[in-house]
Amino acid sequence: MLTHLAFKGYLGRRMHLGVCGSIAAYKALDLVRMFRDTGADVGATLTDAARKFVTPLSFEALGASPVHGAMFPAEDGGSEHVFGHLMPGESCHAFLIAPATASTLARLACGLADDMLSCQALAFPAPLVIAPAMNPRMWHNAATQENWARLKARGHVCIEPGCGRTACMEEGQGRLADLNEIYLYGLRAMTPQDLAGKRVMITLGPTREKWDGVRFWSNPSTGTMGACFAVAAWLRGATVHAVAGPGVPWLPAMVQRHDVASARQMFEAAEGLWPAMDIGVFTAAVADYSPVPYGDEKFKKGGAEELVVRFTPTTDILKTLGAAKGAHQRIVGFAAETSAMPENARKKLRAKNADMVVGNIVGRPDSGFQSPTNEVFVTDRNGRQEEWPVQPKTEVAWRVLDWLLQL
């Protein structure tokens, strides 16, 4: 799993997974692994057709429990629970159906309950998360589209199928959506929406300050810390805008991504977004200085023994937007340091008009640039401060958002 998607705080939460008769059914096994890795419990229901493609034993071997099959216990592969059709609605925080076939969409849209999965879905008291997979012609059939529109109108979380070549070798829309996005939608359904209605802007990654036709000034930031914030804020209900420097990792389509290269471009994008935001998290490693450009041609050394490059300062994005902060807005700044962490973090908090500053030591394999983990010092405007030991960046992002909600 991608580092910035590997959230672990779902112990005590429960997901139910419905699997229908599509060749994409085998991908549901990966979803079980992904949800189990978060700490969540997972149950599953396989339709009769799904069991032609995958077996209940495969799901059980990956830790899914219980795994339901036919409606009645006496039938082969059926549930051992007399009230198995009610169990997801009584014990689960989210119900995901992936892949969902055209037949299942029709059952759900019409409120039928003639098999275990449709009966469980009808008894589930919250919106379902539905990810279809089928032949493109079946997907575009008027009946399927009417059923899909009806499910969306009822408030279910409907994930559009992807485009490309399907198992039947036809091109078009009908493929199961990206597993990472399905996983995130399922995770969001299990997550308390304490940032619902909030608009969050994240700056992340490095900037590249061009010098000549092939060279630039930059740093080793990968954008992983900011990506963790972007995903965490979206999972918790926020509308998220990510102003992303070069090389930033994959972000789900649900996060509105604004790709930039230079510090000037990052400032202009962030400045344009900031007035409409409630929260700004400034994780980007922005170049403080930019080289005076040599030009678009490649510089030739020509036998010179040394090279002198002049630099000019870039706009301080955090300080500028901090000065323009409204009463309802909150700012989290990051301080990448090699020493004197607490002193530098507190100084940055005051100088940038931030509400919180998270300082992290860089240049170590377990913290800072190019690391999936961070060791941080956190301080806020009220004088509260804490030192956190090395932990995954996903956990750092989650805890910082928890703290911010208390300010």
Q: Is 334 annotated as a binding residue?
A: yes
How far from 182 is each of 11, 30, 31, 102, 164, CA to CA, in Å? 20, 11, 8, 18, 17
Beta strands 199-204 and 239-244 are parallel
Token pair for residue 58?
A: 């495969």
Q: Is 369 annotated as a binding residue?
A: no
Residue written as token pair 């389509």: 253
Cβ–Cβ under 8 Å, residues 354 and 317: no
How far is it, in rounded angstroms, from Cα 73 to Cα 79? 5
Tell me if residue 92 is catalytic: no
Give the 3-state DSSP-derived string for 180-236, with helices as H, strands as E and coil as C.
HHHHHHHHHHCCCCCCCCCEEEEEECECCEECCCCCEECCCCCCHHHHHHHHHHHHC
How far is it, in rounded angstroms, from Cα 348 to Cα 351? 5
How far from 305 is each of 50, 291, 308, 316, 396, CA to CA, in Å? 70, 20, 10, 34, 46
Give DSSP secondary structure letters for 42-91.
EEEEE-TTGGGTS-HHHHHHTT--SEE-SSSTTSTT--S-TTTTTHHHHH
* DSSP reduced 3-state for 39: coil
Q: Is 348 annotated as a binding residue?
A: yes
How far is it, in rounded angstroms, from Cα 341 to Cα 223? 21
- Of the residues 20, 110, 158, 168, only one is catalytic, namely 168
Annotated binding-site members for CTP: 288, 298, 334, 348, 352
Catalytic machinery residues: 168
Annotated binding-site members: 288, 298, 334, 348, 352
